[in-house]
């Protein structure tokens, strides 16, 4: 009868769920999106699991951020009582780097287009089936030119890896020989070859996107997803926001009308065009009057995690549930009558019914101390987490890749798949949790917080994060001002 906390399936669903009496039309539109999200739930390590990335990018503000306020459009299903987006160029805050680019090619809309330069450039988009030889021929060059280029420049071998969609531009000299070649690998990377007296000189051009800091805030009226969408946030950004607070807020049960969030994140621009969103830098979530704040910190090793402004980790050392999309079929009960043996036999864990093959995730970082068949437990994995904790996963159909005794696993890593091996009546995961050798109820045991910032690192942490938190506060202030005056600066 106890409420199921941190139920990840419900958590996902709740992001999209309307409160009762929601609009049907909106709900059905969301159904498609929900299937998509459910299908897109990643596996892999902890970070990947906690940060669902979707290729889907909802329409976002086309306006280049220049401290822009925008008022929400009054859509019929608008989930907001108030939404405000503010974006700002913030070079002081984040070391934004926009490198001068020595050569910028106009992007071609046609397959081959000329660029107004002296001498003439010819640009070709690599099509499927193209080879370097074919593209050189199109430019009026031949295999001997390719040979020359490859012979004189070691970097030319990168041209062997051309893929459709990339562009190659040529500049020929008066004799019809190759003078310059420009190979655009992707939006940010290109390679330039220029003929000199000593052969071709290669130059790598790596463009840095212009990082701008964006701010969005909303009050939830129907669902987190609707509120985020109306605030101009892409689905993956909404998911990331929810993931940051998922250890503190139960998104399945606890979200109420009037809850608010504020998020400050990176947007990446190239030549004034938005090419995507980056990381969330800081966020705030007010849930039923209780406000949680979180800030991103990158340590000396380059790993980024979220902390409270005082340096406590947002994560817990253990996931409450090691399987997504499961329902609890049997609770921890030390006086249970066994369904097969029909005798009183303690049920020392929680059973999660799920389809055969559903991934089972390590609930915390740890080491595999058992992986194999274990009597009535069937295929079983036992993990040791530090000194005090052990977790056990039973009735697995099969084991995760590379999972054997001695393997180190990360939180969220797939260690096996749901099955019904051993004494079992149907596909489910039997999960046990031990503290200092004593079996505990996995649903109610108090879970330790992940490591907070060490005192030696505290100064670094504060130096990096305090300006970010201050900026979040400033955004809040300025957005309140903007809402009051409804002005456009």
Q: 223: exposed, middle or buried (C-beta count within 10 Å: 0-12, 13-18, 19+)? A: buried
The answer to whether residue 430 forms part of the interface with Zn ion (CB under 5 A) is yes
Question: In terms of CB distance, is 337 or 458 closer to Zn ion?
Answer: 337
Interacting stretch for Zn ion, rule CB under 5 A, among 152-160, 273-281, 423-431, 435-443? 423-431
Q: Residue 313, Cβ neighbours under 10 Å: how many?
A: 18
Q: For Zn ion, how many residues bind (rule: CB under 5 A)?
A: 2
Interacting stretch for Zn ion, rule CB under 5 A, among 35-43, 106-114, 354-362, 426-434? 426-434
Residue 422: which region, alpha, beta or left (left: phi > 0; alpha: psi -120 to 50)? left
Residue closest to Zn ion (Cβ)? 430
CB of 430 to Zn ion, least distance (A): 3
CB of 347 to Zn ion, least distance (A): 6
**If you ran DSSP here, which 8-state letter would residue 104 be given?**
-
Sign of CA dihedral 394, 395, 401, 404: positive
CB of 351 to Zn ion, least distance (A): 4
Question: In terms of CB distance, is 250 or 351 closer to Zn ion?
Answer: 351
Are 220 and 227 in contact by the 8 Å Cβ rule? The answer is yes
Question: In terms of CB distance, is 284 or 351 closer to Zn ion?
Answer: 351
Question: DSSP per residue over 359-420, as a string?
Answer: EEE-SSSEEEEEEEE-GGG-EEEEEEETTTEEEEEEEEEEEPTT--TT-EE-TT-EEEEEB-
Q: Residue 207, Cβ neighbours under 10 Å: how many?
A: 18
Interacting stretch for Zn ion, rule CB under 5 A, among 19-27, 162-170, 294-302, 430-438? 430-438
Question: In terms of CB distance, is 353 or 483 closer to Zn ion?
Answer: 353
Contacts of Zn ion in 333-352 (CB under 5 A): 351
Residues sharing a CB contact under 8 Å with residue 339, sequence separation 6 or more, in sequence order: 425
Give the closest residue to 333 by CA, choosing from 352, 318, 350.
Answer: 350
CB of 429 to Zn ion, least distance (A): 8
Interacting stretch for Zn ion, rule CB under 5 A, among 191-199, 205-213, 298-306, 427-435? 427-435
Are 183 and 149 in contact by the 8 Å Cβ rule? The answer is no
CB of 442 to Zn ion, least distance (A): 11
Question: In terms of CB distance, is 91 or 374 closer to Zn ion?
Answer: 374
Interacting stretch for Zn ion, rule CB under 5 A, among 216-224, 281-289, 414-422, 429-437? 429-437
Question: In terms of CB distance, is 39 or 438 closer to Zn ion?
Answer: 438
Interacting stretch for Zn ion, rule CB under 5 A, among 127-135, 160-168, 425-433, 438-446? 425-433
The answer to whether residue 432 forms part of the interface with Zn ion (CB under 5 A) is no
Contacts of Zn ion in 341-400 (CB under 5 A): 351
Give, in order, the Cα–Cα distances in Å from 181 to each of 130, 136, 421.
Answer: 17, 10, 61
Q: Read off the tokens for 166.
A: 């990339």
Question: In terms of CB distance, is 311 or 422 closer to Zn ion?
Answer: 422
Q: Which helix (H) or strand (E) holds 183?
A: strand 178-184
Question: In terms of CB distance, is 423 or 483 closer to Zn ion?
Answer: 423
List residues near Zn ion by CB under 5 A.
351, 430
């Amino acid at each position: 009868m106890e409420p199921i906390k941190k139920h990840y399936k419900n958590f996902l669903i709740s992001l999209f769920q309307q409160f009762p009496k929601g609009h049907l039309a909106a709900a059905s539109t969301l159904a498609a999106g929900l299937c998509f999200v459910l299908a897109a739930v990643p596996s892999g390590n902890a970070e990947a699991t906690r940060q669902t990335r979707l290729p889907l990018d909802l329409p976002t503000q086309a306006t280049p951020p220049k401290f822009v306020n925008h008022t929400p459009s009054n859509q019929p299903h608008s989930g907001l009582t108030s939404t405000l987006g503010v974006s700002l160029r913030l070079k002081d805050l984040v070391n934004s780097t926009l490198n001068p680019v020595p050569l910028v090619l106009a992007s071609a809309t046609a397959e081959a287009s000329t660029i107004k330069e002296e001498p003439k450039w010819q640009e070709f988009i690599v099509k499927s089936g193209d080879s370097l030889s074919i593209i050189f021929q199109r430019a009026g060059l031949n295999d001997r030119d390719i040979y020359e280029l490859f012979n004189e420049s070691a970097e030319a071998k990168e041209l062997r890896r051309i893929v459709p969609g990339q562009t190659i531009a040529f500049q020929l000299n008066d004799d019809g020989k190759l003078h310059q070649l420009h190979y655009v690998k992707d939006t940010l990377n290109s390679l330039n070859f220029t003929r000199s007296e000593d052969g071709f000189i290669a130059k790598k051009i790596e463009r840095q996107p212009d990082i701008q800091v964006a701010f969005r805030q909303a009050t939830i009226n129907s669902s987190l997803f609707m509120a985020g969408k109306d605030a101009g946030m892409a689905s993956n950004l909404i998911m990331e926001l929810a993931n940051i607070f998922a250890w503190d807020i139960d998104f399945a049960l606890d979200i109420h009308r009037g809850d608010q969030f504020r998020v400050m994140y990176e947007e990446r621009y190239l030549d004034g065009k938005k090419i995507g969103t980056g990381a969330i830098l800081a966020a705030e979530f007010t849930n039923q009057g209780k406000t949680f704040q979180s800030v991103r910190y990158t340590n000396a090793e380059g790993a980024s995690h979220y902390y409270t402004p005082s340096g406590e980790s947002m994560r817990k050392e253990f996931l409450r549930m090691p399987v997504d999309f499961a329902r609890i079929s049997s609770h921890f009960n030390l006086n249970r009558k066994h369904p097969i043996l029909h005798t009183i036999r303690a049920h020392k864990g929680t059973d999660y019914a799920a389809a055969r093959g559903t991934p089972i995730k390590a609930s915390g970082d740890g080491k595999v101390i058992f992986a194999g068949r274990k009597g009535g437990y069937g295929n079983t994995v036992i993990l040791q987490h530090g000194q005090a904790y052990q977790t056990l996963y039973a009735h697995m159909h099969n084991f995760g890749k590379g999972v054997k005794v001695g393997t180190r696993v990360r939180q969220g890593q797939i260690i096996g798949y749901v099955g019904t091996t051993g004494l079992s009546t149907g596909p489910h995961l039997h999960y046990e949790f031990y503290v200092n050798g004593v079996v505990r109820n996995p649903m109610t045991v108090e879970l330790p917080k992940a490591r907070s910032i060490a005192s030696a690192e505290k100064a670094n942490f504060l130096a990096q994060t305090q300006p970010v938190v201050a900026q979040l506060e400033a955004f809040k202030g300025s957005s309140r001002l903007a809402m009051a005056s409804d002005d456009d600066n």
